[in-house]
Homo-oligomer: A and B are copies of this chain.
């Protein structure tokens, strides 16, 4: 089965989202690409529709752009 791909660039917000996603999606269903370290894959990500990171490219070819929200509790 085709895997989902989580694209990120190593920023703290990306790493937080990455960990949350990897906690939820089984390892064998997702791969992670660090676009800062694998710059050759930036064009691939763009072709897939990735406009911002972190983003999750699903096996169906759709891109879920993720905004890592701030909890209200964290604002207090």
Contacts and interface: CB of A to CB of B under 8 A. Distances in A.
Contacts of A72: 46-49
Number of copies: 2
Nearest to A50: B69
Contact of A49 (B17, B46, B70): B70
A17 B66 CA distance: 11
A32 to B, nearest CB: 14
Given A24-B25, A24-B29, A68 B59 contact: no
Nearest to A74: B49
A12 interface: no
Interface string A8-44: 0000000011001101111001100000000000000
